[in-house]
Amino acid sequence: MKDWYGAEATSSEEGSSSSATVIGDTNIGVDESLPLAAVTGITLEFGTVSLTEVREALRADNWLYVHGKPDSPQGRAITAELRRAFYPDKDDWRDMAWERTVEVTRKTLDRLAHSDPIPAGRPAPRSVRKSSGSQSHAAKSTQGVTARERVMAEVSQSTRRGLQGAFDLFMRQYGAARETQSSLLQDILHRNADTEFGREHGFRTANTVEAYQRQVPIRQWADISAYVDRVVDGRDNVLTHDVPFFFHRTTGTTGKPKMIPFTRRCQASAKLTHRMWVYKNVLDNPGVLKGRVFAILNAGVDGYTERREPYGSVSGNIYFRLPSILRRRYSHPYDVYHIESLEARRYALLRFAVEQNCTFACTGNPSSLLAAFEFCDQQSESLIQDIHDGTLANRFDIPDPIRAYALNALLPNPRRARALAKARQRAGRLQPADYWPDLHVLGCWIGGSMGHFAPRLREWCAPGLRFRDAGYMASEGVFSIPLNDDNPDGVLTLHSNFYEFIPEHEFGRPDARALLAHEIEPGQNYHVVITTTGGLYRYAMNDVIRVGGREAGSPTVRFLYKGGNVQNIQGEMVTVDHVTSTMGSICREFGITLHHFQVVAELSARRYILHIEPSAELPAPVLARLLPGFDRELGKNNENYAMFRADGLINAPGLRIMRRGWFDRISGDHIARSKRESQSKPSLLASSVEHPEMIEKTLELAQPEVG
């Protein structure tokens, strides 16, 4: 920098500038939009008015954002004063700023004209590539990665203190759950007292939690959908004073999809949540961001409302809320997520990632990672050839701009291709344990119905693999932050949502208790009711959570299952939790792994049918013991089931072996409906089996074995 502009150039990262290091500025967006360029942000600073005047203008603007009305006379006066503080209405000042800007711009253009057009560490255009056997290619590639890692280390160092302070404050607030939640609720009610919903429900007089609970009944989606429809149509001040700038669109299989309003306050809270998750993950696993990040997400925007407001999935927008240090380490460009074909998208993600050293892989649904690992092995011949030649297979439907970028970014790499071919030959398959030997942490759901995928993922990866649960989240928000490896329990996001919890056995009763975050008990199950900064008030999520241990004196929670996801023949009330616990015990007992399982309640026959797709053919002795084991373990996990079985009120269960590819077909159906791979959650407990044509064999249990 000083070579171009002289000693007057300063750097905030080096500490020679009076400006603070800024995270989340437009420079990051420019950098990510131009992946083939070296981007350097330059700021010209000009004095305006006194420091006191600037500070007072900023304070007034902050008050206006939190409490005022921008379109009022007072709001317009505050905005004008802020503009004057940063852009004085003086001709001599403006002339000086213009002349200096022209001078620096001309100097920059002159230096660019005499610089190497291919910055070190960036891929060369295909027209100037070296031959595949060139020694300079390997050297350039290695130097590029090293330079990138050095820059990332500097960015991490410059932000570490800020993240530590934010995390410490977050945990102090979490330890004071009662006060934190009361303050948040009062802020939400105060800000939205003059909205249509706020006036109807007397927000101005709801001065306590008890008053709020009296004045606002617990609501389902049908109770608030009309309000949301008006927001989607462009009406202001319906649910929130803040205007939504985005809508999280659910992927329901029936009826009209939900459109969840998302405001700037929602975004600020979500960013803090994800920063805390990343910070604690890095703190516990220092090498997790040493290499690249392989992430399976969805495209951020699915479409636009008639008012041209964007909508999309919550998982697609997680990318934009992550710290820049994480986003910059992605092994692939963001635009890959916009590839329509699932197969083409998977191939493109892997084409970028397998050539690199990924130390962290993440998504929501762990089955997406498993499918990617299996697909990589299936396509190993093609991937290795593409890596050798620096190409991208033409048989996949990949948009021209993404293919053009790939052909410029992906250089021929014969050495890497030979190493992968040898690893595949040695192991009998191409697996992450070989192409990502330093991959030791997977970020994905490991609780609820997703927990049974963890053992299968371990089979593909290097020893010592750890899981960091992605947290309890939905289209309505992010509700927990897991703070420890291999544990789905997480601290509640008390800073962003107001929580109420109804004991599971009381839900739906008129006398049901609505407990607060500091009142719930470890080991108990609750239905979740939320109030958000985005305009959901006492909204019943229809989710059941279980309370775990405590962090900083406040409870942790894990997602169990959707409310109503229960099968019942005689009153035994079998839940997904019963089923997953049962199948986990069986797989450990017999040393088997399953691609998928599904338990179906056959009401007409008064029995449960277990459907399984084994990862490998099961020996006859295991098959003979599997169904009695299921019967026994389900009885242990659900005492009512055991009692009704012993009394003959529930008949002996059955076992159906499903043909290979059953789970892939189910997953394909779900993804085709939702277009969101990372959010697909095939059912483990149902009233009818999916794809019954895939049944290969049926086994029966003649005598009950319970106890």
Window from 376-385, 429-438, 552-561 with minimum mean pLDDT: 552-561
Give SS3 for 543: strand
CA 448-451-457 angle, 5° bins: 155
Phi-psi region of 234 (alpha: psi -120 to 50; beta: other; left: phi over 0): left
List, for residues 26-54, the tens digit of each pLDDT value: 665 665 555 445 567 788 877 888 888 88
Are the CB atoms for 219 and 239 separated by under 8 Å? no
Q: What's the CA gap between 402 and 397, in Å, rounded? A: 11
Give SS3 for 546: strand
pLDDT bracket for residue 191 (50, 70, 90): very high
State the chain's mean pLDDT as an integer. 84
Chain-centre distance for alpha carbon 351 = 22
Residues in the chain: 707
pLDDT value of position 632: 94
List, for residues 549-591, the tens digit of each pLDDT value: 999 889 999 998 888 677 888 778 788 888 988 998 999 999 9
Measure Cα distances from 278 to 51, 173, 283, 471, 686 in Å.
Answer: 36, 19, 8, 12, 35
The helix (run of H) or strand (run of E) holding residue 344 is helix 342-353
Number of helices (H), then strands (E), belonging to the chain: the values are 24, 23
Extended strands (E) in 348-440: 358-362
Over residues 439-445, the mean pLDDT reads 93
| CA torsion through residues 548, 472, 349, 661, sign | positive
Q: For residue 293, list its beta bridge partners.
A: 330, 360
* Threshold 0.75, pTM exceeds: no
Identity of residue 363: T
pLDDT value of position 326: 77
| Sequence-distant (≥ 6) Cβ neighbours of residue 45 within 8 angstroms | 19
List, for residues 608-650, the tens digit of each pLDDT value: 999 999 988 999 999 889 999 999 999 998 888 988 888 788 8
CA 53-55-59 angle, 5° bins: 115
pLDDT value of position 16: 60
pLDDT value of position 12: 55
Tokens of 255: 């009826």
pLDDT value of position 160: 59
Percent of the chain beyond pLDDT 70?
84
Chain-centre distance for alpha carbon 567 = 30
> Tokens 């929580």 label which residue?
499
List, for residues 215-242, the tens digit of each pLDDT value: 999 999 989 999 999 999 999 999 999 9
Q: What's the CA gap between 438 and 259, in Å, rounded? A: 40
For 603-652, the three-class secondary structure string (H helix, E strand, C coil) is HHHCEEEEEEEECCCCCHHHHHHHHHHHHHHHHHHCHHHHHHHHCCCCCC
Q: What's the CA gap between 62 and 79, in Å, rounded? A: 11
The helix (run of H) or strand (run of E) holding residue 311 is strand 310-312
Window from 63-72, 177-186, 193-202, 237-246 with minimum mean pLDDT: 63-72
| Sequence-distant (≥ 6) Cβ neighbours of residue 272 within 8 angstroms | 166, 170, 495, 496
Are the CB atoms for 441 and 468 separated by under 8 Å? yes
pLDDT value of position 354: 97
Residue 403: closest CA among 390, 415, 388: 390
Are the CB atoms for 701 and 653 separated by under 8 Å? yes
Residue 522 has pLDDT above 90, yes or no: yes
Residue 508 has pLDDT above 90, yes or no: no
List, for residues 257-279, the tens digit of each pLDDT value: 889 999 989 988 998 899 899 99
List, for residues 468-507, the tens digit of each pLDDT value: 999 999 889 999 999 999 999 999 999 999 999 999 989 8
Over residues 77-99, the mean pLDDT reads 85
Window from 252-261, 396-405, 525-534 with minimum mean pLDDT: 252-261
Q: How many CA atoms lie within 13 A of 131 on its CB side?
A: 2
DSSP for 236-297, please give it.
SSSS-SSPPSEEEEP--SSSSPPEEEE-HHHHHHHHHHHHHHHHHHHHH-TTTTSSEEEE--
In this structure, the strands spanning 685-686 and 594-602 are parallel
List, for residues 98-137, the tens digit of each pLDDT value: 877 877 887 787 667 665 443 333 344 443 333 333 333 3
